[in-house]
C-alpha cells in the first residue's frame, strides 16, 4: 500500500468515525496530497486556499516577531469550523466539520496529526 493510500484511508476514517466532512493533507504551496471531500468539492481549491490562510498566518506572526503558528482555526457559528495544523516543513493538515465544535475538531486534528506524521515518515 502506498503512503498516499494510507493517508487517504486515515482521512476516510476521520470522516466515518468522527464527523469530519472535509479533510486534506496538502503541501505548503497548496497542492493536494490526500483528501476526503464531498462530491462536487475541489481538492485543488481547498488545498490552495487553505495553504494561503495558513501561510498568511505565518507571515503575520513572524512579522510581529512571534513564532510561526502550529495551527490556525476558523469558526463559522453555527455553520461549522476548520482547523489547519502544521505537519512539519512540507505539509499541512486541514479538517472541517459542521457537526463538531471547534474544540472537538481541534482534538481530532491533534490526534490525526500524530498518526499522519507517522505515515509520512515512512515515505
Cα(35)–Cα(46) distance, rounded to whole angstroms? 10
| Residues 17-53: tens digit of each pLDDT | 999 999 999 999 999 999 999 999 999 999 999 999 9
User: pLDDT class for 123, splitting at 50, 70, 90?
Assistant: low
Nearest to 31 by CA among 120, 94, 106: 94
- Residue 13: count other Cβ atoms within 10 Å of its Cβ: 15
pTM given for the model: 0.94
Domain 3-121 fold is: Beta-Lactamase (3.30.450)
Amino acid at each position: 500500500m502506498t503512503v498516499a493510500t494510507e493517508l487517504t484511508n486515515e482521512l476516510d476514517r476521520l470522516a466515518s468515525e468522527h464527523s469530519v466532512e472535509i479533510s486534506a493533507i496538502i503541501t505548503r504551496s497548496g497542492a493536494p496530497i490526500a483528501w476526503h471531500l464531498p462530491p462536487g468539492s475541489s481538492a485543488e481549491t481547498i488545498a490552495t486556499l487553505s495553504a494561503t490562510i495558513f501561510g498568511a498566518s505565518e507571515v503575520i506572526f513572524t512579522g510581529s516577531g512571534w513564532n510561526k503558528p502550529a495551527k490556525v482555526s476558523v469558526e463559522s457559528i453555527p455553520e461549522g469550523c476548520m482547523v489547519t495544523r502544521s505537519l512539519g516543513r512540507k505539509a499541512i493538515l486541514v479538517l472541517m466539520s459542521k457537526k463538531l465544535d471547534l474544540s472537538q475538531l481541534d482534538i481530532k486534528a491533534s490526534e490525526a496529526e500524530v498518526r499522519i506524521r507517522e505515515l509520512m515518515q515512512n515515505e
